[in-house]
Amino acid sequence: MATQDKSSIFADIDEGEVDQEDENVDRWRRNLRLWRETLAKQWRMLTDDLMVRLAMITIAFFMIVAVFAPFIAPRGPLTRQYEGDAGIIIADWVEPSFLSSESEYLLGTTAEGFDIFSQLVYGSRAALLVGLVAAVFTAGIGTLVGLTAGYYGGKIDDTLMRIVDFLYGMPLLPTVIILVALMGPSLWNILFAIIVLQWRSTARVIRSQALSLRERPFVKAAQVAGASDWHIISRHLAPNVLPLSFLYGAFAIAWAILAEAGVSFIGLGDPNTVSWGTMLQSSRAYSALDFGAWWWFIPPGICIGLVVISGFLIGRGYEEITNPELR
């Protein structure tokens, strides 16, 4: 190229007349600082709302309980507290200690002789595991699929969206139940089934965002500058859909916990893990309601409700940040 007839305003820079060593901005430090500022700002906006703050405290509380479960729970969740004749389960459950002075169990025991309070504490592990893993994966897969479909369009989009449409034809709970029945009742299978069905809504929303983002001039400008597809997806599309992914992730926590409880409730839960859903299931199996043993099923019910509502509230609060029209 004919550089000779062209006097570049960058000429002296290229000839090294500018002392560039200490001139160059430290890229990593700068990026770190920008990230911190962005996160801090979003965090402030999010925690501005009292309901969101309460919801976060609730989730944080259950997280602490889940992590320190062995120290909080006085007994093992699946340790039988007394043996019946010939080891057969007997239905002589113990009332909570606040109802009967003889009882040494805070929330009494189940008909199988397990300590309800300990089960409740350990149950938070299953709930949060299911909720958080499902959230990360549904948001992650959904975002990736949505960005790919929306950015590339055409056949790729058609194929991916047909899969999403197909998944939309399947109701969440019944399909998870069938999948778990086929694969065997374990917490991981339940999680897997939930994730398989749940990424669809994230994918669809992110795709429509990506479809409109890719037509925006700032994406065109990056293409003109020679940016690769991956560069555009990761630097231009992803940061702009991230709030939405987060939003769907927060909702996914709630849906996943509900689904796990539902599957466990009808007896397809993991027999080796205690979850709030399996607690409800066994209380029903032993007709706790008929015997008036409300301390068996009310506490897990409340816990499910609290975590699920918290998930929705956080999602909702985030929705208001990302979509100012909802304010």
Partner 1 sequence: MSDTGAPDVSDENPLLRVEGLQKHFQINEGLISSLLRATMGKEADYVHAVDGVSFELERGETLGLAGESGCGKTTTGMSLVKLHEPTDGRIEFRGMDLTESDDEELDEFRQNAQMIFQDPFESLNPRMTVYDTLAEPLRIHDIENETARIRRALEFAELQPPDHYFDQYPHELSGGQRQRVAIARALVLDPDFIVADEPVSMLDVSLRAGVLSLMERMTEEFNLSVVYISHDLSLLRHMCDRLAIMYMGEIVEKGATEDIIENPQHPYTRSLINAVPVPDPDVGRERVELAGEVGDAIDVPSGCRFHGRCSEYIGDICETDSPSLEQKAEFDDDREVSCHLYDSCGKQS
Structure tokens, 57 = 């405290």
What are the Cα distances from residue 203, in Å, to 64, 171, 312?
A: 32, 17, 19
Question: What whole-number distance in Å separates Cα of residue 241 and Cα of residue 26?
Answer: 27
CA 93 vs CA 84, 220, 298, 313: distances in Å: 11, 69, 16, 37
Which residue in 13, 32, 57, 302 binds partner 1 (CB under 8 A)?
Answer: 13
Q: How many other C-beta atoms can be found within 10 angstroms of the C-beta atom of residue 113?
A: 18
Nearer to partner 1, 81 or 223 (CB): 223
# chain residues binding partner 1, by CB under 8 A = 37
**Residue from 73, 236, 254, 256 binding partner 1 (CB under 8 A):** 236
**289 binds partner 1 per the rule CB under 8 A:** no
* 226 belongs to the binding site for partner 1 (CB under 8 A): yes
Binding of partner 1 by 217 (CB under 8 A): yes
- The radius of gyration of the chain's CA atoms, rounded to the nearest angstrom, is 27
Do the Cβ atoms of 121 and 65 come closer than 8 Å? yes
**3-state class of 115 per DSSP?**
strand
What are the φ/ψ torsions at residue 115 (nearest 5 degrees)?
-75, 120
Greatest pairwise CA separation for the chain in angstroms: 102
Structure tokens at 295: 């301390």
Contact map string, positions 18 to 47, toward partner 1, x by CB under 8 A? x-x--xxx----x---x-------------
Cα(293)–Cα(116) distance, rounded to whole angstroms? Answer: 11
Q: Closest approach of Cβ 326 to partner 1, in Å? A: 19
According to DSSP, the residues that pair with 115 across neighbouring strands are 109
Closer CB to partner 1, 184 or 239, in the complex: 239
Closer CB to partner 1, 197 or 247, in the complex: 247
User: What mask, x for binding partner 1 by CB under 8 A, covers residues 146 to 175?
Assistant: ------------x-----------------
Task: Kindly tell me which of 196 and 238 has the beta carbon lying closer to partner 1.
Answer: 238
Rounded to an integer, what distance in angstroms lies between the CA atom of residue 166 and that of residue 194?
15
User: CA-to-CA distance for 127 and 110, rounded, in angstroms?
Assistant: 20
Q: Which of 88, 182, 224, 326 binds partner 1 (CB under 8 A)?
A: 224
By CB under 8 A, tell whether 60 contacts partner 1.
Answer: no
**Interface residue with partner 1, options 36, 74, 90, 216 (CB under 8 A):** 216
Contacting residue, 40, 163, 221, 285, with partner 1 by CB under 8 A = 221
Interface segment toward partner 1; rule CB under 8 A; list 5-13, 81-89, 116-124, 309-317: 5-13
- Which of residues 67, 89, 212, 235 is near partner 1 by CB under 8 A? 235
Cα 91 from Cα 84, distance rounded (Å): 9
List contacts with partner 1 (CB under 8 A).
1-10, 13-14, 18, 20, 23-25, 30, 34, 158, 216-218, 220-228, 231, 235-236, 239-240
